[in-house]
Amino acid sequence: MNINTISPKQLHNLFEAGNAIELIDVRTPVEYREVHVPFAMNVSLHELDAGKVAASRKTAAEPLYVICRSGSRGNQACEKLLAAGCNVVNVEGGTQAWDQAGLPVVRGKKTISLERQVRIAAGCLVLVGSALALLDIRFVGLAAFVGAGLVFAGVTDTCGMGMMLARMPWNRVTKESSANGAACAHSN
């Protein structure tokens, strides 16, 4: 499936020229709260209902722009939205590229990224499984299971551990903290 892309600078120029831009950010609410494009709306990938998004669009012919952290989840969202009949464009390099280009962002409460949480959890499970395997060899299966999960995540670009961690209480955003993040000042 060939997905159209746009650079952060090109999208910013379209917005600055007064074009009506519909941009969804498919990162988790916690990631969105930390830093996001001022005119982006948060619809996390694991909650994205492509059919509902397609049906609710006022101007179906106009492109729906998608952004994530670095482009990968945005690409997954674009595939779902394309299948639902949307005209979609993925923002190259995601929010990281937008921020690195010096374009305006909204900054809120800083958190440990989901990617780092996955590395910490996987590392702990492998370490514990390896240590316990010294007592009982059957525990080596824990380390092997985590290793297989990481290989699967790398090959499919889908991380089960990341999806589980995204649903944890510390990765949830209440309406109150979400409003506080949205009220933060714009910065370059």
Question: Are the CB atoms for 25 and 36 separated by under 8 Å?
Answer: yes
HEC sequence for 118-172? HHHHHHHHHHHHHHHHCCCHHHHHHHHHHHHHHHHHHHHCCCHHHHHHHCCHHHC
- Copy the structure tokens of residue 63: 């492109």
Task: Count Cα neighbours of 110 within 13 Å in the Cβ-side half-sphere.
Answer: 0
Beta bridge partners of 91: 6
| Residue type for position 76 | Q
- Only one residue has tokens 């746009």, namely 6
Catalytic residue among 68, 78, 86, 159: 68
68 tagged catalytic: yes
Cα(104)–Cα(184) distance, integer angstroms: 12
Pairing of strands 4-6, 186-187: unpaired
What are all long-range contacts of 154-157, with beta carbons under 8 Å and residues at least 24 apart?
157/72, 157/76
Q: Which residues are the active-site residues?
A: 68
